[in-house]
Chains A and B, each alone.
Chain A
């Protein structure tokens, strides 16, 4: 799957599709979208759909940053409160740390 094969319109379509896919709580898809199309959105200058691709790429970037923030906040909250209110947190803990021997 090589991006250079596709012409501008197809690239746009692909970018768009990736963007929509990422809307299903999938920041990874957005990150990939961003990285993959970055070159075409910003570095290569000359094709007509570039503005739209730029839009989508920036959208994906913002989206992924948003999710990363949320994830970090949640993890921090979880780690801090795990100790304080053990019952609820135990319920959602996936891996229990074993004490040191």
Chain B
């Protein structure tokens, strides 16, 4: 639906008439492909692309239709909630994570509800055995474990059903929900019995976590077939286990909202500052993740950093630089 609105706006601004048939056809294709890619199997890049598009569209909708202060308060409150929900032992998100881990289910399927699907966006990190570089491989896990976990998660639905802010991470419309803003290293210890493919695999060299979030996601596929990896001698499971860090889609949406809001003031300084702040927050969170190896909320650091930078830049830097350039001072 968001796509529809977006397309409508685009076409209006270009003054191109489009008929219902064409639009219907395009939408039908796009939607079906999206469903196929995300819920079932599909090429990895395509899945990532779809997730990104959906997140971006949602963020757009938020930016456009929410009043000013609501956005900021929502972001701030969400970060706090995220922090609380994941780290406190009673938090719903933590329960989800731990339940998934206890049952030894392969890839965090606990967020896949029977009514709506979860679209976790998966960022994989090689558990660096020797090498500490944080390269990530992106792979996805879609609804592969949908069937088996459907009943196991039924009990979790009422718990999480209550958290319903507009930006909530749980399903709002008929659309699939996004996973909460947490990420966790699907513990290697847990997974190694099931997948048997972990090992000192080499990282893909060109992946660098300091790249933009978007770019960082587009990474190599499963690392299972790096020929030079020593662990390839281990017997392969039938279903390739994917591992690594999973980043909830909700995270992306909020990052996008933050940056989008920042950019809507038309000031490049602010936008870039926010972007950088988010990246820094992300890198920091990843570091912490490597240290703790538990589910961590991905939101708080980045969002706090972003908000702080945003306001600071707006209030301070901009007049500063304008004054500088007006008076032609070079520092």
Q: Is the CB of B23 within 8 A of A36?
A: no
- Contact partners of A35 in chain B: CB under 8 A: 43
A-binding segment of B10-18, B155-163, B246-254, B263-271? B10-18
Q: Is the CB of B12 within 8 A of A95?
A: yes
Most chain-A Cβ atoms within 10 A of its Cβ — which of B20, B23, B29, B225?
B29
A27 beta carbon closer than 8 Å to chain B: yes
Main SS class of interface, B: helix
Q: Is the CB of A74 within 8 A of B20?
A: no
Complex Cα spacing A82 to B11, Å: 16
User: Given the interface contacts A2-B240, A36-B43, does A82 sit within 8 Å of B36 by beta carbon?
Assistant: no
- Contact partners of A24 in chain B: CB under 8 A: 32
Q: Which of A1-51 contact B (CB under 8 A)?
A: 1-5, 14, 21, 24-29, 32, 35-36
- Contact partners of B22 in chain A: CB under 8 A: 71, 74-75, 78, 94
Query: What count of chain B residues pass the 8 Å CB interface test?
Result: 33
A1 to chain B minimum Cβ distance, whole angstroms, is 5
Q: Is the CB of A21 within 8 A of B139?
A: no
A34 to chain B minimum Cβ distance, whole angstroms, is 12
Of the candidates B20, B32, B47, B142, the one whose C-beta lies within 8 Å of that of A92 is B20
User: Given the interface contacts A94-B18, A95-B17, does A21 sit within 8 Å of B47 by beta carbon?
Assistant: no
Q: Which of B215-271 contact A (CB under 8 A)?
A: 221-222, 224-225, 240
B311 beta carbon closer than 8 Å to chain A: no
User: Given the interface contacts A36-B43, A78-B19, A93-B19, does A4 sit within 8 Å of B225 by beta carbon?
Assistant: yes
B30 beta carbon closer than 8 Å to chain A: yes
Complex Cα spacing A27 to B16, Å: 23
Q: Is the CB of B36 within 8 A of A21?
A: yes
Of the candidates A2, A29, A89, the one whose C-beta lies within 8 Å of that of B33 is A29
Q: Is the CB of B43 within 8 A of A82?
A: no
Q: Is the CB of B17 within 8 A of A1?
A: no
- Contact partners of A2 in chain B: CB under 8 A: 44, 139, 221-222, 224, 240
Q: Is the CB of A25 within 8 A of B41?
A: no
User: Given the interface contacts A1-B41, A5-B224, does A94 sit within 8 Å of B20 by beta carbon?
Assistant: yes
- Contact partners of A14 in chain B: CB under 8 A: 41
B46 beta carbon closer than 8 Å to chain A: yes
B21 beta carbon closer than 8 Å to chain A: yes
Q: Is the CB of A29 within 8 A of B36?
A: yes
Q: Is the CB of A5 within 8 A of B28?
A: no
B140 beta carbon closer than 8 Å to chain A: yes
Q: Is the CB of A26 within 8 A of B29?
A: yes
- Going nearest first, the 3 A-B pairs with the smallest beta carbon separation are A28-B29, A2-B221, A97-B15
Q: List, sorted by A's number, 19 A–B pairs whose CB atoms are closer than 8 Å.
A: A1-B42, A1-B43, A2-B44, A2-B221, A3-B43, A5-B240, A21-B32, A26-B32, A32-B46, A74-B21, A75-B22, A82-B17, A82-B19, A92-B19, A94-B8, A94-B19, A95-B11, A95-B16, A97-B16
